[in-house]
Structure 1
Amino acid sequence: MRTKTWTRAGVCAASTALLLAATTAPASAAGIATGQTLGVGDSRCTDHVQSDNGARLTGFFANGTGEWTVLRSSAVGGPETVVFRAPAGARSGAQTPIDKTIAPTTSGTFFYRACVLANKIMKVSVFSVTHYQILLTSTSSNAVTDIGPETAALSLNASACGDRTPVSSGDTIRLVGTGSGRTGWIISVTGSTNNYEGNWAVLYTATDGGIDQTFVLDPEITEVTACAGGGVTTDRDTVSFELSIVS
């Protein structure tokens, strides 16, 4: 199999995968983590949900098999306990759903995040078609969502996309991210008015190490999504990223 490098053509191929991942989730998918073209051993974790009554994991894993986990901690970045583990996907290649409520096992407020790991994938020619969708929520009236960055460990051309973020006219947004190697970054326009005549992406680039950029959005843009893509030809690109509205 031909090894791909991040020449300009390689950037375009990976960024196309990022765009597809960013635009195939439901239009109302705020809070949903998505990604595609996973490799064996790739993993993806959501940001954190703070809750005093447990959490609920929903989503699917398609065209491969792997493992779901939900982790709990007392603080973001602190020691974590696995509170749920289950197989992901199916050998048939079907879009296999997950819907699991994780009840609290002790009183108090904790931080939860959900992860998925790919251990077998399906390919069309040499390209992986393994993809996923993850949503971690809480029914608590005291719940706080979208805490901390999205994280992933990605092989070449695999992708991870974060929340679809609604924006108001002329908002300024900020993308902060890190990568252990060559990383593709896209901020995709996932919602706009009928009058929008701009590009499909606010940002379309690749960097070594990370990114920290702000962008003033076109007033016709109503929703955006940030994605990171693996550009490492050996091992994996460990990425962490967060999109926020700064003004």
Structure 2
Amino acid sequence: MLVSARGKPSGIPSRTPHPPGGYPVPAFLPGEWTGSAARSPHVLSQARHLEDRRKRILRAWQLLLALSMSLLMVAEVQAQSGGLTHDPTEILKRYFTLDSKGARLESLSYETVAPYVAWKDEPVWGHAVVIEDFKVINETSQWEIVNNLEVVIPVEFKVLGLVYYEKAIFIPEPGPEVVRVRVKAVRNRWRIVEPVLPPHIGHKRMINHVRQAWLDETDLAKREQLDALREAIRKAK
């Protein structure tokens, strides 16, 4: 009776070459065989064939995954950069979402909105509009369609008031604001061409912006001004 690799009796005869100890080497470890079969050209050729096949399959999956990721990235870039095959409202939603999060409050973050507009420079704004929310009108019946490469789309803002930077004051002016934004094809991409609006900042984002300015300020009198400004914005409805 043969003895298995675990040292238990086995009723199944084994044709696996036996090492000197009398125990059969498991067939799934051909690389550790010590008998003549380990040096058999047929066994070695078959092992190399299986290994080459495994590598080819792995490379095919890697190429397929890379191709899929590339296609997804291209689609995302086209959507973000306003390709003409996309709805022009998408670029407005992206732009004003970034603006409401404070993208134009700092020069470094301004680059995130630059791909959506046709102009390169903006005025030095002395104030910002504080908003509760905004809405891009999707109903084409309310659009002014100039041609297939130019359209004017209304954007509605729920305004809370204005913040003036130099004096650090907040002037409540609650109410709706409707801006007709002209979107035009520029180098095969939708771009906002006018108007150039002052920053329209979300309520909570403006509160946090003033709070950060308060933390960075060392002058006691200015800190008091900023603290009063933050409180005034916080109470805005």
| Short-chain TM bin | under 0.3
More strand per residue: 1
Could you tell me the TM-score, scaled by structure 1's length? 0.22
| Bigger-Rg structure (1/2) | 2
- Which structure is higher in RCO with an 8 Å CA cutoff and minimum separation 6? 1
Taking structure 2 as the reference length, what is the TM-score of the superposition?
A: 0.22
